[in-house]
Structure 1
Amino acid sequence: MSDNPSTPTLLDFIQRLPKAELHLHIEGTLEPELIFQLAQRNGIALPYASIDALRAAYQFEDLQSFLDLYYAGASVLITENDFYDMTMAYMRRAQQDGIVHAEIMFDPQTHTQRGVSIQTVFSGIARALREMRNTAGISSYLILSFLRHLSEEEAQTTLTAALALREQYADLWLAIGLDSAERGNPPEKFARVYARCKELGFRLTAHAGEEGPASYVRDALDLLQVERVDHGVRSEEDPALMQRLINDAIPLTVCPLSNLKLCVVDDMQQHNLARMLQQGALVTVNSDDPAYFGGYVADNYLACAEYLNLGRKELAELARNSLLASFLPANEKDHHLELLAAMLDQADLPDDMQ
């Protein structure tokens, strides 16, 4: 049996696990309170009468119904300080949850289409990340993500604009991602821009196998040459693909509460994260868009303990996987893995965890 997830001791254990968050959309961390605060600051009228009315709208039928509200929420982000405040709010929460390294996706096209400069987006997010690195010791990277419902040509244009800032943000921006609506937007649509990004030396990841089929995961690997798959929960539909993911230790950045909220699974007990973990897949736990899906990373670990019957041994394995799956250099991974091992040695764990 798993530990009782309502006990403070399990939450404390989860929060003390040194871990990385690898699937986090910074625009998806905008809590309703901050949305209203930024809207007031920028003189933006929201189509909701109150914070409670906005939160009540967080009932999603599928990915698209969420995205419609997600893009509306992002409309309050105008100035560098807005992006800074949003990012700092997340990073402070990440610190509470024991995150020692965060790899943060951001969607420049969501903002440049509204007339916000890409420099403003970069500078606000980067200022918060550098501040937390310097004051709290939390490292972070940026994953510039293309919106897959837009054209590849628009992605190329966004990449070109961002490359002018690459040197200025070389300490943070090292990866490329692909997000937004999967349906009707297969990986092959972005094969050329991904080939360009690979030539430029970026680390590559992409959303696949959330609402899209298992074949999208295979195409993300073969056509986009990604080294990590965001979501990937439908990979099980293709046993040969699943075995490939296990054999090649290709990380999956799974987001359990997101999958529940967006009806990828109907019941958390049906989620296949535990099964994939037990099969030997390099599964990690992440929060995706926590302000909208009702849980940050520790909440996701707790949900796995409660509904998937995972004990501390499995939770620690998930934390270890998150560090292994990160884009950190080997020496920094080793440092965090040593801290994790030391923490587990000191914890009151069953014999098989020693």
Structure 2
Amino acid sequence: MQYTSLGKSGMKVSKLCLGTMNFGPHTDEKEAFRMMDAALDAGINFFDTADVYGWGENSGLTEEIIGRWFKQGGGRREKVVLATKVYGSMSDPLDGPNDEAGLSAYKIRRHLEGSLRRLQTDHIELYQMHHVDRSVSWDELWGAFELAVNQGKIGYVGSSNFAGWDIAVAQGEAKSRRFLGLVAEQHKYSLTCRLPELEVLPAAQSLGLGIIPWSPLDGGLLGRNALMKLQNTRSGGDNKRIEQYRTQLEAFAELCNELGEPQDNVALAWLLHNPAVTAPITGPRTLEQLESSLHCLNIHLDESVMKRLDEIFPGPGGAAPKAYAW
């Protein structure tokens, strides 16, 4: 396993992050336990979850599964750099209108306590805002996060789904308070979603954030046998997407066949080639999928392959404004 610093922090995380969104809804607890044990055995120390995973009336289920895995002992909690998120509704009638999606000092405090309880731990290494909430001031947000850090309940603060200018404002406000600010931005980024290269990635690199790509395979579109699987589905939305990307996916499959590597691992290797990227989030449903994804760390994409990938999946042309201006 390879390790790197999480943004400007001194904390080391594995170059692959285990995403746990499927734990509960699609992966039962026994299989989830096997996967987390296997991840540790493979050197993956970075686990990502969210308070809402489990979804709807089952929100919190994923954190509960992880908490029961920690409770087995054996150094499991000590070996994991744990990341979770706050923003969505937990369907808690006690919170009333304060349970609606968004961020506030009230909600951060309440939801943090809930996550700690479900995860059966007294601290979280990386506490992330699951989405931006521009209706809440940074005085309120940083005040809430500073308190949680000072209490030892969280180590670092991260963001998710922030625009480049949101990151810049957040870091400016943090600096004025002599606070570390954000150390990571979790963002949708893949071969089929390269718009973040315009603003988000440059902002993150300049201001000390590591990029944690979510949906690195674009919901399976960049996975092995995706063409065949999506063609056989009854979902109208999937059929529309396959038609939109058919030519590109066929060219991508041909390139991967030449390399002798499956599409999903090449897509992950492409992300890891970018110095702005800390660790893509893999979201396996089975142990076999997790074990297969590890091979991406050993794939080297030379300049000619990177060029062909750019031709198949063109990006915005670099960072703004040079991507579209002189």
Give the TM-score, by structure 1 length: 0.45
Q: Which has the higher helix share?
A: 1
Give the TM-score, by structure 2 length: 0.48
Structure of greater relative contact order (alpha carbons < 8 Å, 6+ residues apart): 1
